[in-house]
Structure 1
């Protein structure tokens, strides 16, 4: 008896309604990311909060880059205040919206499987976790004003913000909060996808039965009389079946060497029913009934 390999990957989701609920919750959060990340582009409040923190003595100064260039030193912009972080957030938010639309369509078409969910959600989790790390990175570029932990608007709150920067401070905190929610969401997505990736006992039994049936069918085909037929014979048989091409009359075994054509029949009838070499005997009924004398000559 053949020993079958047990299937370990499922093609269906364990709780489809839970996946639908996560997808519905992901949509407004992705829109919030697009909105908040887009407002920060390119430099809506980044430099203002940077300067506000320097005025309070919490971090380096934005014009420190100019001093580095003036003193022929390599300029270094902390990641928390760099434009790279803003562009990175915009890219991952646009990518998230695209993936959300694609996987929603694939789920409706029943082709979004847990294996794809694991790969995609791990990718998104890594991207948002990287963004979260960048947003909480320290600012150690100024030895006189080090900021080893979170930026001041996260660690100390917006009470240190000026009147003009208070709303910007709240937006920066909202960006960090939305990123945390997305990290938690895609973490749960990954766990749920891994859980759905393991098939149940019923799915294993059904798939193993289907594979056993395929193996039995393959045995029948292998031991059928067609297995003794040559490749050219099989090709000719399939051509006759699928193209429905009839055999020609001169084919050996067809039963006749000289087929009767409409032209042969016509000449036989005009010949008075005498047999010819072109076809079987025959005649004109009216000529046989009334005789040749009643038919005018030349007509």
Structure 2
């Protein structure tokens, strides 16, 4: 107690305690804070308000309450877009992650020219979402495209437009999504480099084969990386727009087989000028992604293994 009293008297003699000056830090953070408020928080609040209005971009918004959300229950094109998008996610995401993991395991073997292959495989992730690649994809799978030409070389004559056929159009977009495996592959490769080599050596001494080592060592230690890639892939897949827009010409394809959710949202907002309904669709998409992300985090405790 005497020691504490002496410290207090010493502090009084030395004057008040000076707190660090944070004004310089706030000055450097000001552009980010301003951008977050003006470009992120402001539009979020604005879209929430517009989702309860009838707004056509030309006249003032007219408050209609929950009418936009009630319309979703009876909108057949919305229901179809959800089916198309969920099919795209449920098939495309596992295939993409599977291909990325398989190639990462092969590249982890230490082959010659690894930096070149790593860069070459990563390139599709940079270009896949571009307009140029989407147009190229449309030419490849057209009635006179590269695919039909290759089939003709092996004796299979085909004049089918794979994009114009509602039974195969979505498959071509899923294939494009799988082709963009570079980003998760690089992350998987970084995770594989963190697996201790001693574990593989000990398993090999015990007589474990390559598949057993992969199943019992590699996969459990990679589950945090798999989980990270899975969450990002699901979010990015629900946000896919460019591929469907360019390949389908902005119409949604034959019988709306390429009517992705984001494409339908675009059509309602900037095609039909129903911006109020489009804002409600945007909030529904946010809720769907949020719920799926929460489910992924809840399920992760059953299959994701951390160091502890």
Question: Could you say which structure has the larger radius of gyration?
Answer: 1
TM-score over 0.5 for the alignment?
Answer: no
Structure with bigger helix share is 2
Considering Cα pairs closer than 8 Å and 6+ residues apart, tell me whether 1 or 2 has the greater RCO.
2
Please, what TM-score do these two structures have when normalized by structure 1?
0.25
